[in-house]
Amino acid sequence: MAEGKKLIVKGKEIRVKNIDGQEMFSLTDLVKNFDPSNADSSKVLYRWFKNPDTLEFLAAYEEAFNPDASIDIEKEFNKKYDGRSVKEYVRVTQTPFMRSESGRYGGTWAVFDIAASCMMWLSARFQVWFVQDYRRMKELEMQGMLSHKEWKSEKKVNSLMEVLRFEQDELEAIQEKRKKLK
């Protein structure tokens, strides 16, 4: 995906851009789209980041894909209330897998695997949809079927998928109610 594109997941737009040659997803958008009523996505991202499972995942990810990293992430960032944020993590570790940018179009950005981990923490169902839509978009791009101009029509396909998912959710809810009535 080229810089400036958006992935549509359940009718929600998630910004995607190329940072230092890596495709990164806006964690800020993920959090805002998961709970639009939450005015401060930075607090939600902070809670995700300070989760021991998240730190363990980030440490394992750095160890696997950035073996030159010389910091013990779990030990360094393990203190739950030390105020150290994702921005501080990026600065201290110099990780190539995340970015934190200030300003109007800024936010917290991460590669696909880390974004998927964040989504799992937010909602397993949302994560499944994200992975499905991302794979479908990548397949279309690889087949040369999805150019920049075709993203608009792809939005229509995503909108249709959103309607179908909503109807599937409704059907599942009805089935659950039927089970309870029996």
pTM: 0.71
- The conformation of residue 25, written as its DSSP 8-state character, comes to E
Percent of the chain's residues with pLDDT above 90: 12
Contact 117, 29 (CB under 8 A): no
pLDDT at position 111: 95
Mean pLDDT, the chain, whole residue set: 78
Q: What is the largest CA-CA distance in the chain?
A: 59
Say if CB 107 and CB 27 are below 8 A apart. yes
Structure tokens at 101: 């940018």
**pLDDT for residue 123 is more than 80:** yes
What's the CA gap between 5 and 18, in Å, rounded? 10
Q: Cα(88)–Cα(6) distance, rounded to whole angstroms?
A: 26
CA–CA distance, 97 with 123 (Å, rounded to integer): 22
Backbone angles phi, psi at 47, to 5 degrees: -65, -40
CA angle 12, 32, 164 (to 5 degrees): 25
Domain parsing of the chain, residue ranges: 5-181
Assign residue 29 a region: left if phi > 0, alpha if psi is -120 to 50, beta otherwise?
Answer: alpha
Higher pLDDT, 15 or 39: 15
The pLDDT value recorded for residue 10 is 76
Under the banding of pLDDT at 50, 70 and 90, the label for residue 27 is very high
pLDDT by residue (tens digit) across 29-88? 888 877 666 667 778 888 888 888 888 898 889 888 887 776 777 677 766 556 677 888
